[in-house]
Copies of this chain bind each other. A is one copy, B any other.
């Protein structure tokens, strides 16, 4: 009556039940070389009969843990959720289990999470938009197979998967310029760190914006509000821009959430979108697609990024000596109802 904890079934039990050695069972578990079909089926039957499940802790002590860790800065960001979908889709039928840490913002939280994952002997890591120092990332990648998503800059130690943010920003400027806009402003995420200045998507988007403005002969119209990639950042940034002596006729927000904040500020100012001012975002998150918002946005195909990241990671786990790869995906522009032709008078 009182044996509610009937001791875990171990590899020894399976071996005994199947009348083979534990080595044999281990081989079957790992699909390793050196087990005859006959033995294989005998063992598999025993496993099924006993309901055996290997202990990841014990496996991890010697071999793999069959666990992939994913770190991302923010769970609420729908774009990150898309990346995750891609990762899990790609890893769905493999033996790997994906586990993620709850949103961790900032270098300190990142360090904690990465340590935690390494402590748990994870077989591979996917780091989404990490802000840690590059030296730290390299160090991590040297000790565990790692793929970095959403941060530019090649590394000898880890693979990268990014969106071509410069091209994405150019798409927006091109679109708006094509609609007759000249005073196209940008809300960027303020960045101080040198390396991040070059590697983070936000910096690349701002650069793409500048380049494209120059390319369209709008160099004199370049106008950037420097806040942060948050809804509040968008709100404040738009307020700044709307207070200009001559108001911009279009705002390119560096992210969809930023655009949402901008939309709020614009509405509060009594202006209409796209009548008085056009707004475009970046990420094409579900929020952008949502009917009442219907935001023109750059689509990064986060799902594909996740698929590529998972693929690269498994490849690297298999062959740790392979040279690192940099996958850069081309974004597309999804035009919706927040952008329209500029008034002729403007």
Residues of A within 8 A of B (CB): 4-5, 53-61, 65, 67, 69-70, 75-76, 78, 81, 84-85, 87-88, 97-102, 113, 115-116, 118-121, 142-143, 260, 263-264, 267, 286, 290-293
Contacts and interface: CB of A to CB of B under 8 A. Distances in A.
A253 B67 CA distance: 39
A121 B267 contact: no
30 contacts: A5-B143, A53-B115, A53-B118, A53-B119, A56-B57, A56-B60, A57-B57, A57-B58, A57-B61, A57-B121, A60-B60, A61-B61, A69-B99, A70-B102, A75-B75, A75-B84, A76-B78, A76-B81, A76-B286, A84-B102, A85-B102, A97-B113, A98-B101, A98-B102, A99-B100, A263-B292, A264-B291, A264-B292, A267-B292, A292-B292
Contacts of A78: 76
Interface centre among A54, A57, A76, A121 (most CB of B within 10 A): A57
Copies of this chain per assembly? 2
A219 to B, nearest CB: 34
Nearest to A286: B76
Contact of A119 (B56, B75, B88, B267): B56
Contacts of A293: 292
A57 B101 contact: no
Contacts of A118: 53
A237 to B, nearest CB: 16
Contacts of A120: 56-57, 65, 67, 97, 120
